[in-house]
Every structure is written in structure tokens, then in C-alpha cells.
Structure 1
Amino acid sequence: MEVPVLLQNIFQYIDKNEQVYIQCLTEAVKIPSVSGIPNYREDVFRMVYWMEEKLKVLGVITEVCDIGTQVISTTENNSTKIALAPVLLGQLGNDPKKKTILVYGHLDVQPAAKEDGWDTEPFKLIQKNGKLYGRGASDDKGPCIAWLNAVEAYQKLNHEIPVNIKFIFEGMEECGSVGLEGFLKKRSDFLESVNCVCISDARWLGTKTPCLIYGLRGTCYFSIEIECASKDLHSGTFGGSVFEAMSDLVFLLDSLVDSSGKILVPDILEDVLPTTCEELKTYENIDFCVKEFKKAVGCEQLLHEDKIKILTNTWRYPSLSIHGIEGAFSDHGSKTVIPKKVIGKFSIRIVPNQDPEKIAKLVIDYLDKKWKTRKSPNNYKTSLTFSSKPWLSSVSHYNYTAAIKATEFAYNRKPDMIRIGGSIPVTLTFQEIMDKNVLVLPIGAGDDNAHSQNEKINIANLIQGTKLLAAYIFEISCVKEH
């Protein structure tokens, strides 16, 4: 497909400024904006203000918005309030004759430490073999910066930006976007005049073919709390005389899912929409290699070895994962202690047509019944920690039509249309509050190790992704609403 002359010029500018973009990402990764650890909250604030300064340079009118506080447990019986990371709003242009796109990204990251298994320091961007390693490089600082790069390319070449752009950057996404939905409802004034939404917080399915994402699973996150004593106990002195909380917890966790990945909670699949023959046919042409996927995972065997079964089980069926046990000894070495209290954590990724409240009731009722069969005198409680709904978008909307054409300009090939198994709670929030089409437009590759050790973004993905966003801006201005 022949690329318009305007975009050819912009693409050339982007190619020439590769090192500038890498330096910008280096600055961003250096800020350890970990939202899930209270001691890092100041760094999340710092990251928000860093981004605000970058937007101001581009002439964006900005507003840093306080969205309240959250209660954090400090000890078993004490808690404190700390400020939620602010939301950064930005507006570039207000021409009523132009379409207005809303761009969303998040500036917070998952925890990371070199001793967790990183080959390099996670908060120092390292360039190696065409890849940029660092926490947040792909999720989501790299894509956020790519938006800045795309806008700057238009401005530096004196090309009028053909759309109005509104930015929303938050700092609590890795904690479930705490406080964001309430804030957006209060700031409906900012959302007015928006025609469509674009989110670049995701990655491709594989490593070669660009993708557009139209569906996400939701999340129901649970905790099982069991207490057996008023203090930790010596196993030599008390082992064999008490009902141990850890044994109870392992019993309950083991009752949730079998070795084939089947969730054992009754009626959990009741509301799942059946797959259609037409839907399964679309999966056949998707660029997905089971061998490559297995290599990326780093395992010898998967629950399913068939391409379509893997895709359907990670996209459109729920799955249950056990995440950890709080209160148990987890350091290196040995410790012969019976913990007084343990908290097991697990989640279910839910799919369209499943309701978080109904799923929570099914799970809690099931575990309550299992607990009765255990006949333990210990204190027990299962609760829903947080939840987010699944999301589906309309791919026939011009938002997707523009993104498809932009992908062809940037990569010279059509994108795969996919759903993914992860959750981006804000997608449904935008769709429900604004009643506008939401597009997830990823630029990172499927092997970027988001949330894992050695997170990275390929330099090629950063550069071509910047071109993609620039082309998307152009195409949105060209298509007609329907």
C-alpha cells in the first residue's frame, strides 16, 4: 500500500530520531513508579509530573488531578491512608471541525528487583541486541512515550495535527485503576466531544504480526484468610497439637482447579457464550506459533498443544490462577515455624457475559462448603478483593477501520484481530461512561515479558509503533463516521 507523502515525511523523521526516543525512555524507566508498594508512591507522583512536563513542551494544556486516598494496612490491626497517584489530563487542540481522540496510558509499573531474576537492573534501561530492557519499557511507558514522539513528529515538520487529542495518564493501573472510574464520572466535562478512544497498553500475540485487540477478560481476585493461633508457633513444640492454618489453606487452594486447568467451582461456565464456527474460523488465520509460545513461556508442555485450543482457553474461557500465600515463610533457608495466620491469593479471569458479583458468590459459596468438610476450628474467611468486568468492542467501527489502514502504512501488512486473556479495566469504563468505541492498539511484541523478569521492548517496535500512532492520527481524520 502506498504511504501518503505526509506520512512518508513523518516516518523518515521518526527513523532519524531513534536515539532521542531511547533517551526519553531511559529517563522514564529510571523512575521506579511502582504503584503497588506504598514506599514507592512518591515515585509514581514523580513519574506523573515528569510526563506533564513532556506534554507541556508539546503545547498540551495539562491538569494534574487529585483523586483521593486509599487505606493501606501497616500491621495486622493498624492501617493508614496514603494519597492515590494523581491522574494527568491533557488537551491538544479544540477545533470543533476535527475529530477528537482520547488517548489513555498508565505510568505506573509492577515491582521489580535484580534479585528476582533480572539479568540487569530493572530501573536502568539497557540496550542489547536491538532490545531495550527495563521495567515499564513495554508496559506501559514505551507506548506512552511513543504517543509523545508521534505528536512531536507532526510539530517538528510543521504539519498540522489533523485531530484534537485528549490524554489521560494514570498512576494506579497496576493496582486495578483504583479511584479512576469515580474520577472519570465526575469529570464528564473532559470527556465531552470525544469521538473515540485509543489505548496502547497491550502487546501483540506473537513477535512478527501486528495486532488490534477487540476483547479482554475481566478479573475476580480473591483472598482466603485462615488463622490458627495468636502468634507464630515453634513446630517442634506445637507441631501435632494444633490445627495448622497452612494445611487448611493448602486444602482449599487444591480444591479450586485440577491438573488439566479445569475450574472445579460448580456452574462457573454457566454464562460463558459458546464459540461459533465463524469465530473459530477467524482463529485459523491468526499468526500464532505454538512452538514459539512454548519457548516464550519456558516450559516443555502446555495444558493444550493445539493452536485454537490455546487461543480459546486464554481468550474466551475463564481460567483460575493461584498467586501466593501471605504470612508463610518464603525467604531462602529453613524456618521451622507454624504461621499463626496465612492468606491465600488467587484470581479468576472472567469472559464476556460473566458477571463479577455472580462469580464471586459461586466461588465463596463453594469454598464455604469445602471449609465445612474440613472440620477445622480455625478462623476462616474468603473474600473478593477486587474485580473488573470483561470487555468487547465493535471492530466494524471507523476507529478500527482507521487502525487497520494505519497498520498497513506502518508495517506493510494487515493486523490480526485478536482478543487477549489479560484485563485492562479502563476499557470497559470508557465504553460504559462515554458510550464511545474503544480500540486497543498495541505496539509491543508478545515476548516483551510484561510483569515478568527482563521486561523489554524491541527498538524496532518502539520506532514502528511510533509510526503506527502517527498514521492512526492521520487516518482517524480521514474516515467518515457511520
Structure 2
Amino acid sequence: MLMLAVFHLFFLLVTQASPLDQVLKYIDDHQDDYVKHLKEWVSIQSESGDPLKRDKVIEMVHIAGKAIESLGGSVELTDLGTEELPDGKMIPLPPVVLGELGTDPNKTTVCIYGHIDVQPARIEDGWATDPYVLTERNGKLYGRGASDDKGPVLAWLHAIEAVQALKQELPVNLKFIFEAMEESGSKGLEKILSEKNATYFSNVDYIVISDSGWLSSNPALTYGTRGLCYFLVEVQCAKQDLHSGLYGGVVHEAMTDLIALLDSLVNSTGHILIPDIDEDVVPLTNEEHLLYKTIEFNPEGFKDNIGATRLRHETKEDLLLHRWRFPSLSIHGIEGAFSGPGAKTVIPAKVIGKFSIRLVPDMDPNKVNRQVATYLSQVFAERRSPNKLRITLNNGSKAWVADVTDKQYVAGRRAISRVFGVEAELIRGGGTIPIVRMFQQTMQKSVMMLPIGGAGDAIHSQDESISRDNYINGTKLLAAYLAEISQL
């Protein structure tokens, strides 16, 4: 009798489980299938920056489109035209995948963005295993694209499939936009967004992106990213390289000028020396500052992880503010200078210095460009050098920040609480993800970054990975988000 009573109790618990509970259990039960699916996607070397692998990138586009169709969605592969290579050869740009699943006018419509191209990866670069063979080791799934961004894209598709497998009705209408040129500047994507804004995207209520990661072991929502201005500073002193024994001491060397210009940009504390560069930075409020106090972040662990001997700031709050909330300037390299092993007594005829400024709200790239050009021209003039100076803004994009009280962030926080049993950390990103602002600016809709990747996933680096826990629980999180956003 006791066994029968226990059985009946178990039966009641199972049959009374909520639809979302059933979906979460289904995801747990099928996690090996999801890992196998990720292995298939990782095996495709969809490196958008390598013209010789363009066929693999296009193959990945078709696979992603078929995955949406397998869920019952309609798919349009939108042509982006061609791309001209440095040698003048024209090659096709991979199409953008536009998918749609559900058209109920009484439901919320969520647009999911992801990218299916990857950064280059070779085992000789220092990978422990073949980057295009998904390898599970110590709870982590190693492979190029596992975290950025094939794993998260698949997590969305698996979350939807789990709902359908249980014969449940999807709580929202879905639209998909998957691109395959994100790692190469999202060429052609902004044009597609503008052209389709009044038609395909007209009924979208929310846009959600999972192309980012957590800061710590705690799940997070990303509500801001910094913008970027990337500059080239070119100095030319002669028509060809010169021998230092014959010409050293008699010409104004381009390298000397360039070093002086680069040294004038930032001081040893990291303060940017360009006048008024931060005059448009939105003041930090007390309410915003409090957000940084609750974030889990270990300065000592961070320092040790990157191998630095000392950081510029000591407290957690100051470090995070300078990573996310304040502008920064970094010098990246000098083109044209001798950099190989051994000695070479050459005076370069032309050198190009490369540096960037990470922008924060409300800095404008065009204004920053004028400020940089004016300042460097003045520094150069004070040197009384006869050399030629050219300053070029290679690319510029504004920072992005969202309203964390928006309904979508409420849904994201509830979903994280539901799946992980903890409160979400609200974080910013120090890097630049132009697509986020592109969506917000073009479509004028709420955009949220809902990451499932971990803090140590090594995206863009050797041994990129995503933990099995993040991959599977992340799939649950995305399913829970769809349920939560449908109720707001």
C-alpha cells in the first residue's frame, strides 16, 4: 500500500508539473542530443574572414535555415551581393537568414539575433585539441564557435524544439535573423535592417541577443556596451626606406614623430590627454553606482588570470567602471616598423600608428574624430617637423545602453531566477558590439542581451569553450524567457 501511495504521489507531481517545468525536464533529458548537434555545427569551418572558406560559411547559412524550417518556420535567405577582395576579385557575401515562426496577432513577437560565422582557428595556434572537433573535457565543450555564437544559436532552437516536442503551444511569435559576417563587420546587414524595417520587422516587439557572456559564475543580463573609434596615424619622411648609417642624423625620422604623437595621447595612469574628450560623458548617478556594488568580481583573481603584476585601479567598483562606464584609449601597433627577430638598421619611410578609443554614452564618433585630429595636428605642428601627417578614422560606432526597467529586462530577470534560483547580475560590456545599437537605432525597439556563455569561455582565443552546464541550463533559460515575456 505504501508503494502504491508513493507511486500515486509521484504521478500527481508529474502530471501537475507546469508546462515550463515539463520543458525544462525535457531539455535535461535530451542534453546529449544537444551536444551532438553542437558538434555537427562546430565541425563546419565557417570563418567569414577567410575568402577560401566562403563556401563553408554559405553552407552554414543553409544549415541554419533548414534548422528553422524543421521547427515549422518559414525561411528567406536574403542576398547581400558580393564582396571585393584586396586583389580585386569579387566573391559572394553569405546570405542573411530571415525566419518566422508564428503569426498570431494576439501574441508578443520576439526577434532572435545570432551569428553563425566564427573567428579563425588552427591547432598550431596553441589549441589543446582540434578546434573544429567538439571535445568534452572536465565539463567543458571545446571548439571554435561553441560559445561565440553557434552554441547560443542552437540553444534557442533547442528551447523551441522542446516546447514543440511536448505538444505545447509556443507562447510568442518568433522571428529570426542569423547572419554569417558578424566576425567580419556584419557587411550588408544594416542595409537589410533598413530595407525590411517597415515590412518584415514591423510587428516585432522585442529583440534579444545572446552573443555575449557572464562576468562571473553568476548569470547576467547585459544592458550596455562601449562604442569604438579606431584611428590610423600616418607619418611619412621619405619616398623609400633609408639606411641609418647614411641618413641617420640628417633626416626628420617618421618613427620619431609617430612615437611622440602616440605618447601624447594618454598618460601613465590611463588618463586620455585629448582636451575635452570626455565632456559629453553622461554623469554617473548614485543609483547606477550602486549597481556595481552587488556584482561578483574578484580584482585579484582578474589580475592573476591575465598575468598582470598590478592594475590601474584597486577596488572592484573602480575596475568595473573603467572597463565599462568610462572611455579608454589603447595603442595597438605600428605598421611599417621593423618587428622581426634580429637587427635591421633601417629608417622606415612611412609608419602608421594604430590606436582606439572606447566610447561611452553620449560620446559621438564624429566629434571624437574632430577632437583627435585637432589635437594631434597641434602636437605635430609644435614639433616643427617637415614630414607628412595623415590622421584617419578607420571606423566609428556609438555606445549602447538600455533601460534596465524595461519589460524585457523584467522577463530576463524572472527567467534567470526561475532557472538558476538567483538574482541576475546587471552588467555592461567593455567591448563593442555594433549590431546591438544598429538594431536599436534602426528598429526603435527594446533590445536585450541575454547571454548564456561563461566568463572563461576564451572566445576569439585558443581553446574556446562553453561548459555543458551553461549550454544546457542556458537552453532552459531561453525557454523560460519566452514564457516570461509572453506574460508581460
TM-score clears 0.5: yes
Listed one character per residue, the Cα deviations across residues 343-378 of structure 1 (whole Å, up to 9, x for unaligned) are 322211100111111111111221222222344444
Superposition deviation, residue 103 in structure 1 = 0.4
Aligned to 1:51: 64
Comparing 13-22 with 304-313, which one deviates more in the overlay? Answer: 13-22
Distance 1:298 1:317, change over 3 A: same
Residue type at the aligned position of 2:116: L
Aligned to 2:434: 425
3-state SS in 2 of match to 1:190? coil
Listed one character per residue, the Cα deviations across residues 91-127 of structure 1 (whole Å, up to 9, x for unaligned) are 1111112111000111222333344443333333222
Aligned to 1:146: 155
3-state SS in 2 of match to 1:478? coil
Aligned to 1:254: 263
3-state SS in 1 of match to 2:35? helix
Given the alignment of the two structures, is residue 9 of structure 1 paired with residue 19 of structure 2, yes or no? Answer: no
Q: 1-side partners of 2:52 and 2:381: how far apart?
A: 40
Superposition deviation, residue 173 in structure 1 = 2.0
Aligned to 2:33: 20
Listed one character per residue, the Cα deviations across residues 209-258 of structure 1 (whole Å, up to 9, x for unaligned) are 11111111111111122334444555566555554444433332222222
Listed one character per residue, the Cα deviations across residues 16-43 of structure 1 (whole Å, up to 9, x for unaligned) are 2222222222222233333334444343
Listed one character per residue, the Cα deviations across residues 445-473 of structure 1 (whole Å, up to 9, x for unaligned) are 11212223322211111111110001111
Aligned to 1:125: 134
Residue type at the aligned position of 1:205: L
3-state SS in 1 of match to 2:154? helix
Matching of residues 411-422 of structure 1 within 5 Å: 411-422=420-431
TM-score by length of 2: 0.90
Distance 1:326 1:25, change over 3 A: farther
Listed one character per residue, the Cα deviations across residues 429-458 of structure 1 (whole Å, up to 9, x for unaligned) are 222222211111011111212223322211
Superposition deviation, residue 191 in structure 1 = 0.4
RMSD over aligned Cα, in angstroms? 2.3
Distance 1:112 1:267, change over 3 A: farther
Distance 1:286 1:249, change over 3 A: same
Q: 1-side partners of 2:307 and 2:147: how far apart?
A: 20
- Moved runs in structure 1, 4+ residues, more than 6 A? none
Q: 2-side partners of 1:339 and 1:32: how far apart?
A: 38
Superposition deviation, residue 317 in structure 1 = 0.5
Greater Rg over alpha carbons, structure? 2
Residue type at the aligned position of 2:359: I
Q: 1-side partners of 2:338 and 2:75: how far apart?
A: 46
Q: 1-side partners of 2:148 and 2:20: how far apart?
A: 26
Residue type at the aligned position of 2:37: C
Residue type at the aligned position of 2:62: Y
User: Structure 2 regions of 5+ residues with no counterpart?
Assistant: 1-15
TM-score by length of 1: 0.91
Matching of residues 135-174 of structure 1 within 5 Å: 135-174=144-183
Percent same amino acid at aligned positions? 50
Listed one character per residue, the Cα deviations across residues 396-442 of structure 1 (whole Å, up to 9, x for unaligned) are 22211111111111111110112221222122222222221111101
Q: 1-side partners of 2:340 and 2:47: how far apart?
A: 22
Residue type at the aligned position of 1:15: D
Residue type at the aligned position of 1:473: L
Say whether the 8 Å CA contact 1:296–1:447 is kept in structure 2: no
Q: 2-side partners of 1:40 and 1:171: how far apart?
A: 12
| Aligned partner of 1:198 among 208, 213, 222 | 208
User: Structure 1 regions of 5+ residues with no counterpart?
Assistant: none
Residue type at the aligned position of 2:465: K
Residue type at the aligned position of 1:309: D
Matching of residues 321-340 of structure 1 within 5 Å: 321-331=330-340, 337-340=346-349
Aligned pairs, how many?
A: 472
Q: 1-side partners of 2:123 and 2:111: how far apart?
A: 36
Aligned to 1:222: 231
Q: 1-side partners of 2:48 and 2:385: how far apart?
A: 37
Q: 1-side partners of 2:344 and 2:123: how far apart?
A: 24
Aligned to 1:441: 450
Residue type at the aligned position of 1:61: S
| Aligned partner of 1:84 among 83, 93, 97 | 93
Aligned to 1:462: 471
Given the alignment of the two structures, is residue 31 of structure 1 paired with residue 31 of structure 2, yes or no? Answer: no
Listed one character per residue, the Cα deviations across residues 255-304 of structure 1 (whole Å, up to 9, x for unaligned) are 22222111121111101112112221221111222123223323232111
Residue type at the aligned position of 1:63: E
3-state SS in 1 of match to 2:215? coil
Matching of residues 5-404 of structure 1 within 5 Å: 5-74=18-87, 79-188=88-197, 189-206=199-216, 208-233=217-242, 242-331=251-340, 337-404=346-413
Superposition deviation, residue 332 in structure 1 = 5.2
Superposition deviation, residue 333 in structure 1 = 5.4
